[in-house]
Structure 1
């Protein structure tokens, strides 16, 4: 396995749960997509992306390919154990060993989940639209376990000082949670800088998920490691955040 391709989640997940995010290193893509681009519809050569995905499958010794979703910034949660590739959803859940949940990002926040027993895992794609709509709540609900038994890991996303939004976006968050005003810093004129990590943590905490880890990576600033759509535009590739169960010794 090429270690430069992966960053393993730093959280106390139970034995038998594997979780990581890919970097942009060690792949086959060229030019602005260099080099481990996993986004099939990012504008990169699709055969090259498929070859990158095959490298991932081989590296991680996956029994089958992760469930690659057609992400639409909504709140649908797919079943990685039974659904087909390209299911339209922004999260997936699995209870079967070898079925990997995956989300693709390039500034949006990827969130990985598992319960304390390690019997169920999930992954969610949480940009600001998904956060407002309730993708994290929908994902935890689909896990079918008490929220207080769930832990979450926040992967690389655009940092607050790079994520400028309009007042209408801030207003949507405040309309749901008036206490989230601390997640926004004033920008130019009527603009604001939003903290996706803080907004996600608040929503998870309000739901009852208090074991929340990660959030230390900025996709925009760390250009050597991550893709960023806001930084690179249409030439941006995609990272994958994955979580899956593996058999454990009795």
Structure 2
């Protein structure tokens, strides 16, 4: 299984990584490691892919707990996994971020262009995974997640998983207008009445504004990387389906 690991100073305290398209059993546009159960893929293949991911992680962390998969709706809700019942693992939790203080409990969000931001405190005792598309980003999903942390914001580290780059993320006036407070994030593009939006820049500025100065970046564009799922690339290729990657963080 091919994973993209965070390059940051917390590797001895947490496992933090993103999956790629490789290592699963799904076919067609979902090939091969699709981890999304909501995108039209065969349910048995998704189950097998998730089991493969768990088995891979178990080799690194033998006591790792099952993943609480989220039902992501571009909301600002952050769920504390300590408050979630382990007997409901097969029922997705409706939220766009997950927080935990428990060892071996993964926090996971799925993406196929949207940002995934992994957070951990310097002590390695608190973690969170954030799904931030443009809607959740502007509405406050990052701020809501940071509110779960019991520490100074200066003690929080952030890793930006692979996501669509600004040069490939065109938006219309309706979306661009929402980001008027972040003029550096918007630039013109070749298409009339369209703009290029830098989601990562907005997120970075939001983190910096509240004191999260330790920021690290995968610097990989999902749209341009053939080993990553990209909903926008798939749409431009006239396909109607696209798999999902998992972005996860877990305390060792």
- Could you tell me the TM-score, scaled by structure 1's length? 0.92
* Whole-angstrom CA distance in 2 between matches of 1:45 and 1:14: 35
Q: Secondary structure at the match of 1:125?
A: strand
The residue that corresponds to 2:104 in the other structure is 98
Are 1:197 and 1:215, in contact at CA under 8 Å, matched by a contact in 2? no
Structure 1, unaligned runs of 5 or more: none
* Whole-angstrom CA distance in 1 between matches of 2:82 and 2:12: 20
* Whole-angstrom CA distance in 2 between matches of 1:91 and 1:44: 23
Match of 2:184 among 177, 182, 185: 182
Runs of 4+ with deviation above 4 angstroms: none
Q: Secondary structure at the match of 1:103?
A: strand
Are 1:95 and 1:121, in contact at CA under 8 Å, matched by a contact in 2? yes
- CA offsets, 1:22-53, max 9 Å, x none? 00001111111110110011111011001000
- Give the total of aligned pairs: 238
Q: Secondary structure at the match of 2:64?
A: coil
Q: Secondary structure at the match of 1:212?
A: strand
Q: Secondary structure at the match of 1:99?
A: coil
Match of 1:230 among 221, 225, 232: 232
1:4-23 matches, within 5 Å, as 4=2, 6-13=3-10, 15-23=12-20
- CA offsets, 1:199-243, max 9 Å, x none? 1101111121111111401001102x1001111143210000000
The residue that corresponds to 2:219 in the other structure is 216
Shift of 1:102: 0.1
Structure 2, unaligned runs of 5 or more: none
CA RMSD of aligned residues (A): 1.2
* Whole-angstrom CA distance in 1 between matches of 2:104 and 2:57: 10
* Whole-angstrom CA distance in 2 between matches of 1:144 and 1:89: 20
- CA offsets, 1:151-206, max 9 Å, x none? 100011111111000122121122xx3xx211111022221001111111011111
* Whole-angstrom CA distance in 2 between matches of 1:149 and 1:16: 14
The residue that corresponds to 2:70 in the other structure is 69
The residue that corresponds to 2:37 in the other structure is 40
* Whole-angstrom CA distance in 2 between matches of 1:143 and 1:197: 21
* Whole-angstrom CA distance in 2 between matches of 1:138 and 1:208: 15
The residue that corresponds to 1:140 in the other structure is 146
Are 2:104 and 2:250, in contact at CA under 8 Å, matched by a contact in 1? yes
Are 2:35 and 2:50, in contact at CA under 8 Å, matched by a contact in 1? yes
Q: Secondary structure at the match of 1:136?
A: helix
* Whole-angstrom CA distance in 1 between matches of 2:79 and 2:167: 33
Are 1:112 and 1:124, in contact at CA under 8 Å, matched by a contact in 2? yes
* Whole-angstrom CA distance in 2 between matches of 1:37 and 1:195: 26
Shift of 1:14: 5.7
1:149-228 matches, within 5 Å, as 149-174=155-180, 177=181, 180-187=182-189, 188-223=191-226, 225-228=227-230
* Whole-angstrom CA distance in 2 between matches of 1:99 and 1:82: 12
- CA offsets, 1:83-113, max 9 Å, x none? 2441110000010101100000000000000
* Whole-angstrom CA distance in 2 between matches of 1:125 and 1:114: 15
